[in-house]
Amino acid sequence: MASSAVGKISREEFRRQKDLDAARKAGTVPAEVDKQGRAINPHIPQYIAKAPWYLETGAPSLDHQRRPDDDLPAGKLNEWYARGERAGPAATKFRKGACENCGAMSHKTKDCIERPRRRGAKLTGKNIAADEVVQDLNMGYAAKRDRWNGYEPSEHNKIYEQYAAVEDARQKQREEEIDSQTTTDLAAARKLAKATTAGDAEFGSSDEEDEDEDKYADAADAVGQKMDTKTRITVRNLRIREDTAKYLMNLDEDSAYYDPKTRSMRDAPDKSVPVEDARFSGENFLRQTGEAMEVQKLQLFAWQSAARGNDVHLNANPTQGELLHHKFIEKKESLRDTNKISILDRYGGEEYLRTAPKELLTGQTENYVEYSRTGQVVRGSERVKARSKYPEDVFINNHTAVWGSFYDKTAGKWGFACCHSFIHVSYCAGQAGIEAAAASSAANLLRADSERHAPEPSRAAEAAKMPPPAGKKSRVGETDPKLDQEKLDAALREERKRRNRPADDDAEGDSRDKRRKYNSFQGGQDVTEEEMEAYRMTKVSSEDPMANYRDEDL
């Protein structure tokens, strides 16, 4: 809502305005337009779009947020008063209303800045000055108070050229005097240049003239250092300006923390890059590389020596601290060797201290080997056997081969080669498992079935007609049954009656069966083939979808 009507509005009108603003923000309704026909952004906050009460016009507009054209200065920023310029040639006679002193029309007599004449131009009519250029510049607040407004930059070039000429002449004079000297002592040359500098007083003086000889002798400072010529102190910068800032190496917000006060980053900015390939690996990594460890050991030695009462300070006298540390290490190594030799001479055991070379222990070698991008050996050594990321040569449940070492083309399954088992968690049965798998294969079963249905030879027929040997009884289901249809129908009726018997009769029959003796069925109580076939035909299968179906007519 760019502007709201003055006065109190009703609740319905307020809700209507809210809905209109929401529709304008969603883009379903065109944006509001001001007087000039410009669209007003509906996302501008109300405290910015709404005009104050003293600027309220009743129409939507953003003019109260824009600078009025009347407040803008008429002149440009580089415009200034034309000082000393004349409007044209001087007049030949005095004009009415002109300055009585000089005769110019641009100012009055009391504002004239020329030397007062004994007899002014009004009386003499001679030496009338030309009119000055009068300007009325409409400048703003900042232009009036600009200290450099009206300054001519070309004036500075004259001063620069003058100083450059003096400096070139001074340097040329020094070079000629140094070349004329027979001595090569640099100190004498500097002394002569300093004496020459003291006599150069043609063009002012400077506080840094005493150090001019260092300007030419030491032309360039060391990288990362700043020489203060007044205090003669070398200040070490924290960062070389040519290097990339540490916080610009990785712009991710979750990367390593950067401390802007000390300009340090402890961790690596990009942890995905290896440490040896990264441009910067963090302050903690740098503290463990190069000579940083030696400096830490030297500092620790200075602290421990000072704690024992010795006058050792690393910053006050670093050379003394380094020499004492070097002597301390040599003495420590000599004492260690002396103690080792004395202990070995007394107790022996030197043969146990002889170990293999470090290269053999760590597996390092000087053989040249080339690897591809995928880690394979290209040249220089034998090809390494490719290994899988999964466990290899792991045998379970007494197996001597791994799972997947055997494949059956007929069944299309994988298994163990030691026992031809297709079950992953099975126990190995060895050669017996192979024979059982071969006997239970589909090809073997089909061959046995074809042999069983093939016409039997005459000898097989005679053998079938012969009675079984004495003392041996054929088991039910071992031979091909020859069923009698009448006996089979009777057995089916009896089996169905037994299955449809109520639960009480079954319980009573079970109690009678429990009272029977162990050998009570011996004799003529054998199960016939018809009764066995009837039991199979009426047997309920648990996987049969019609297992719970029962025909009431039977």
Show the DSSP H helices in 308-351 as ranges.
Answer: 318-347
Phi-psi sector, 380: left (phi>0), alpha (psi -120 to 50), beta? left
Question: What is the residue-level pLDDT of the chain in tens, covering all 554 positions?
Answer: 444 444 678 999 999 999 999 999 998 999 999 888 889 999 999 899 989 988 888 888 898 888 776 555 545 566 788 878 888 899 989 999 999 999 999 999 999 999 999 999 999 989 999 999 988 888 778 788 888 888 888 888 999 999 999 999 999 998 888 877 644 555 555 665 555 555 554 444 444 554 555 554 444 444 445 555 555 555 555 556 777 888 888 888 888 899 888 888 988 888 888 887 888 888 888 888 888 888 889 999 999 999 988 888 888 888 999 999 999 999 999 998 899 889 988 888 888 888 777 666 776 667 778 888 887 878 776 655 677 777 777 888 888 888 888 888 777 788 888 988 888 888 888 888 888 888 776 556 666 666 665 555 555 455 445 555 544 445 544 555 577 888 888 888 888 888 777 655 555 555 555 555 555 555 555 678 888 888 877 776 555 566 566 666 65
Token pair 């791994």 is found at 402
Structure token digits, residue 338: 């002396």
- Classify the C-alpha dihedral 22-28-29-33 as positive or negative: positive
CA–CA distance, 398 with 89 (Å, rounded to integer):
127
CB 172 within 8 A of CB 157: no
Structure token digits, residue 45: 């906050």
Taking the domains of the chain in order of start, what are their residue ranges?
11-71, 158-236, 250-328, 406-450, 485-513+527-554
Relative to beta strand 258-259, strand 406-408 is: unpaired
What is the helix (H) or strand (E) element at residue 488, kind and residue range?
helix 485-499
Residues 6+ positions from 203 with CB-CB distance below 8 Å? 162, 163, 166
One-letter-per-residue 3-state SS of 211-229: HHHHHHHCCCCCCCEEEEC
Rounded to 5 degrees, φ, ψ at 408 are -100, 115
CA distances from 211 to 17, 172, 196, 226, 462 (A): 77, 17, 13, 15, 137
| Beta bridge partners of residue 227, listed in sequence order | 234
CA–CA distance, 229 with 221 (Å, rounded to integer):
12
Token pair 């000429």 is found at 165
